[in-house]
Structure 1
């Protein structure tokens, strides 16, 4: 039986695209954070397409991944993870509008809860932060943090101006030490 630390290390190795601290599998999540999605024929087909899309993205064919995720959405338009995955591919392509639209839909469909809701909130927070909308990023990271995201908690700390000032002072002190200054 692997310890929690071992599982976290393995999760980072096997799921390098997820933020550190985020889990890829439902068995890694508390029971109240799993995505309770109905198991219909359409949702099973969409999940299979999602796996194909992830493989395409991991192999570097992001355009193909977007197409596969779109097919998954067309197969089961109520499955939030399809939108979340396509948003990740859109982010890689620098299609910020497309990514935000899909993330909004993923958050809406998930009710901002569960694993997919947490991941979509983190992704949307990243996009907002990249676009200079720190207050919107803060709201998304706070919501994801309430769902247990360690990544979101770290982002909130970075958005804190006092923490940023302390980090800068610490960084400067280490630079001085490395260069031999007193």
Structure 2
């Protein structure tokens, strides 16, 4: 603890302690871009149809952000009808369906998105995380773990955090570290 009075932690020391206490928390409070809807597909050739589908998807995202989920689902359906081979439309509609409580329908769209993008790129990363969350909620931990592993391999920090959270040994170690540091901060340890 350079340049800090005894017993006072520097800003860097506090950041390290926070990382130890809550290793799943990203610096900016986010785990990556999985929670940000994407209307762009990797290596997509821009055509008039693709531009129109993207425009419609942006409208759907804005509508979903306003809490109008059924309207957003309808708008995403229009985007899919415009460009049925774009995985982004299915992925975004799945997010709206999931939030609307229609998880079975969301799974169909996520599977379509993953098939169309061949489990590669940003849309795949997002779809795998969404599907992993549904599986995890449904108690299908092995399926969830596989999706999170695949998403982590595509660079998803959120998926990595879910894998850590699902690991009982890591959770136990994190709890033990948290308890030790809490006692240290309270002056209960020698």
Shorter-chain TM band: 0.7 to 0.9
Query: What's the TM-score once normalised by structure 1's chain length?
Result: 0.77
For the 8 Å contact 2:37–2:61, the answer to whether it is kept is: no
Q: Secondary structure of 2:135's partner?
A: helix
Give me the whole-angstrom Cα distance separating, in 1, the residues matched to 2:174 and 2:135: 22
Name structure 1 gaps, 5 residues minimum: 1-7, 13-18, 27-33
Matches within 5 A, 1:50-129: 50-129=57-136
Task: Establish whether residue 47 from structure 1 lines up as the match of residue 58 from structure 2.
Answer: no
In 2 relative to 1, CA 156–109 (structure 1 residues): closer, same or farther, beyond 3 Å? Answer: same
- Tell me how far 1:172 sits from its aligned partner: 5.6
Greater relative contact order, per chain length (Cα 8 Å cut-off, separation 6+)? 2
Superposition RMSD in Å: 2.6
Name the one with the larger helix percent. 1
- Tell me how far 1:57 sits from its aligned partner: 0.5
In 2 relative to 1, CA 181–159 (structure 1 residues): closer, same or farther, beyond 3 Å? Answer: same
Give me the whole-angstrom Cα distance separating, in 1, the residues matched to 2:183 and 2:135: 34
Larger radius of gyration: 2
Give me the whole-angstrom Cα distance separating, in 1, the residues matched to 2:169 and 2:81: 46
Residue 21 of structure 1 corresponds to 32
Moved over 6 A (4+): 174-182
Deviations 1:71-114 (A, max 9, x none): 00011000000000000001111111011111111111111111
Name structure 2 gaps, 5 residues minimum: 1-26
Aligned residues: 160
Is the deviation greater in 86-95 or in 37-46?
A: 37-46
Query: What's the TM-score once normalised by structure 2's chain length?
Result: 0.74
